[in-house]
């Protein structure tokens, strides 16, 4: 009887180890692959991009795994966002070193990416939303489409990363070991993905402004409540 009770207790949701959820294990794998890509980044572009690309593609897998295994978690959502921001930031840091004339642009892109996502997530949690991807109907139409349709979300994020990846690979253009046949396709990839990258930055700005307005609105409501209770 005691063993049966123990088994029932172990099988309850409260006893599950969130850190070992399948989507979170995929998240750890993404982190490991990203770290390995950073090791190869200065001297082995194709190995670096192979590992980096797999890490990014797994981003589309962990969400599906979370829904399939019914293992959605707040920790997993934050892990996913932190991994995304960290990998992109590391790549942009490297680009700022190989394209020194554009350093300030990459620095601003890093700042915009981090600040907009942090403020958006904080604003969502403050408003009591279960996920930062749940956007209210009153939000900006572009932001709503970005978060409500996984196909749009994936396409925008993928082409945004492809633009930076193309810039990274083109930094090896003068390397005699770099295959010449790949240079023209990489330029095409860079030019073709640049408009989507620009759209992603616009979405980041909209996200930052919207989150700031929501937080300011919450501040006003809190101050009004405090004034009424005083």
How is residue 25 written in tokens? 């294990």
CATH number at residue 206: 1.20.120.1760
CB atoms closer than 10 angstroms to residue 138: 7
Residues in the chain: 230
Question: Is residue 52 in a domain?
Answer: yes
CA 57/CA 206 separation, integer angstroms: 25
Question: Is residue 50 in a domain?
Answer: yes
| Burial zone of 30 (CB within 10 Å; 0-12 exposed, 13-18 middle, 19+ buried) | buried
Question: Is residue 183 in a domain?
Answer: yes
CA 161/CA 158 separation, integer angstroms: 5
The answer to whether 202 and 69 are in contact (CB under 8 A) is no
Closest-CA residue to 93 (of 164, 31, 28): 164
Residue numbers of the domain that contains 182:
11-222
Question: Is residue 178 in a domain?
Answer: yes
Q: What is the pLDDT of residue 13?
A: 54
Residue 112 in 3-state DSSP?
A: helix
Question: Is residue 157 in a domain?
Answer: yes
Closest-CA residue to 172 (of 161, 162, 164, 180): 180
Question: Is residue 5 in a domain?
Answer: no
Q: What is the pLDDT of residue 180?
A: 94
- Which residues are catalytic, by number? 84
Question: Is residue 67 in a domain?
Answer: yes
CA atoms within 13 A on the CB side of 210: 23
What's the structural domain count of the chain? 1
**Which residues in the chain show pLDDT less than 50?**
1-2, 5-11
Q: What is the pLDDT of residue 152?
A: 93
Q: What is the pLDDT of residue 10?
A: 44
Q: What is the pLDDT of residue 14?
A: 56
Question: Is residue 228 in a domain?
Answer: no
């Amino acid at each position: 009887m005691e063993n049966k009770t123990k088994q029932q207790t172990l099988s309850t949701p409260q006893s599950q180890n969130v850190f070992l959820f399948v989507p979170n294990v995929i998240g750890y794998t993404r982190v490991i692959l990203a770290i390995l890509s950073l090791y190869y980044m200065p001297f082995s572009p194709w190995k670096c991009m192979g590992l980096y690309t797999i890490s990014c593609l797994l981003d589309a897998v962990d969400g599906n795994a979370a829904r399939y295994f019914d293992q959605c978690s707040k920790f997993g959502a934050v892990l996913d966002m932190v991994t995304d921001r960290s990998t992109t930031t590391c790549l942009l840091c490297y680009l700022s070193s190989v394209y020194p004339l554009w350093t300030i642009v990459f620095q601003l892109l890093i700042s915009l990416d981090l600040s907009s996502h942090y403020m958006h997530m904080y604003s969502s949690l403050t408003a009591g939303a279960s996920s930062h991807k749940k956007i209210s109907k009153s939000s900006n139409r572009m932001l709503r489409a970005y978060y409500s349709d996984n196909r749009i979300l994936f396409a925008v994020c993928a082409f945004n990363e492809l633009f930076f990846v193309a810039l990274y690979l083109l930094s090896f253009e003068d390397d005699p070991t770099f295959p010449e046949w790949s240079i023209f396709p990489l330029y095409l990839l860079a030019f073709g993905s640049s408009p989507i990258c620009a759209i992603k930055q616009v979405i980041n700005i909209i996200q930052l402004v919207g989150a700031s307005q929501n937080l300011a609105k919450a501040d006003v409501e809190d101050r009004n409540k405090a004034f009424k209770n005083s």
